[in-house]
Structure 1
Amino acid sequence: MNALCRLIAYFTPPIRLANALQPLLLLGLRLFLASVFFKSGLTKIADWDTTLTLFTEEYHVPLLPPAVAAVMATCGELGLSSLLVAGLAGRFAATGLFILNTVAVISYPGLTEITRSYHYYWGTELMALMLFGPGLVSLDAWITHRCRTRR
């Protein structure tokens, strides 16, 4: 038992360091993912006619007319990624982008294995944000702190 206690004591400082760095990691994830999805949204609004053509002919979004799917995808990419940067409604934003990412994988048969792996990677990162939240460096954390101190 004494050896186990020494082992735990040995690993306590690195664990504390990892816990201290978690907010920065979550911030980095949020900024990276927001960049990916925001750039995609900007690409869509840069040439709306091409976007509508792609949603009509290439992307086969289930249950939605192509124009509606194009508007929803564009608004989702731009709006939810902006929320993600701020860390405002962070879990909601991550969940929305996760759904959007999943629909993209399902509805676009032209994805190669490499591009599909990117989507899986982004989906895994979004799932981490869904589970852990946006972290301490976020508006969600600031609002929660303000509400608790006012009670």
Structure 2
Amino acid sequence: MKISMIERGQAVWHPLEAVLNALQAPAQLAARCYVGSVFFRSGLTKLRDWDTTLALFQDEYHVPLLPPEVAAVAGTTGELALPVLLVLGLAGRFAAAGLSVVNVVAAISLVDIAEAALTQHQFWGSLLLALLLWGPGGWSVDAWLRRRLSPSV
């Protein structure tokens, strides 16, 4: 019996696909940890010198629609709370959506953003978009809760 090209392709592809599927959860965890650490460290920096943070929001960051003091508190709170949720994968899509807003506002609020900084924001945004679309993955509190709360089949 002769094996067709399609069958040969499937024989190669199916094991590779199984490996790729097995790597999804650790890749999503890595993305959550990376993006979460970026934003959390930024929030800690703002807390360390609140006077400078307020000055930056008054003079440098031009957050639309919010007074500088409110924008500073909201931005810092988002940068400290949402990454914790994201890393845990607890309300993971909510955390990814919230950090996406923080990321976009940060990128557009700087009048003279350097090309390298803009590229970083685009990279973080792409990881957040993937987490928003596909969820935090199998290694998350969300997935654990889903398994725990769903009836056995």
Bucket of the pairwise TM-score, normalised by the shorter protein: over 0.9
* RMSD between superposed Cα atoms in Å: 1.3
The answer to whether the aligner puts 1:25 opposite 2:27 as a matched pair is yes
The answer to whether the aligner puts 1:90 opposite 2:85 as a matched pair is no
Match of 2:81 in 1: 79
Where does 1:2-151 land on structure 2 (aligned, <5 Å)?
A: 2-149=4-151
Counterpart amino acid of residue 68 in structure 2: P
Gaps of 5+ in 2: none
Task: Quote the Cα distance in structure 2 between the aligned partners of 1:109 and 1:67.
Answer: 19
Task: Quote the Cα distance in structure 1 between the aligned partners of 2:11 and 2:97.
Answer: 38
Q: CA deviation at 1:5?
A: 2.0
**TM-score, normalization: structure 2?**
0.95
Deviations 1:13-36 (A, max 9, x none): 011000001000000000000100
SS at match of 1:149: coil
Gaps of 5+ in 1: none
Q: CA deviation at 1:47?
A: 0.3
Q: CA deviation at 1:68?
A: 0.4
**TM-score, normalization: structure 1?**
0.96
Q: CA deviation at 1:149?
A: 3.4
- The percentage of aligned residue pairs carrying the same residue is 52
Task: Quote the Cα distance in structure 2 between the aligned partners of 1:136 and 1:92.
Answer: 16
Task: Quote the Cα distance in structure 2 between the aligned partners of 1:10 and 1:141.
Answer: 30
Task: Quote the Cα distance in structure 1 between the aligned partners of 2:148 and 2:4.
Answer: 44
Task: Quote the Cα distance in structure 2 between the aligned partners of 1:21 and 1:118.
Answer: 24
Q: CA deviation at 1:3?
A: 1.4
Q: CA deviation at 1:150?
A: 6.9
Task: Quote the Cα distance in structure 2 between the aligned partners of 1:8 and 1:43.
Answer: 51
**Residues paired across the two proteins, number:** 151
Q: CA deviation at 1:110?
A: 2.5
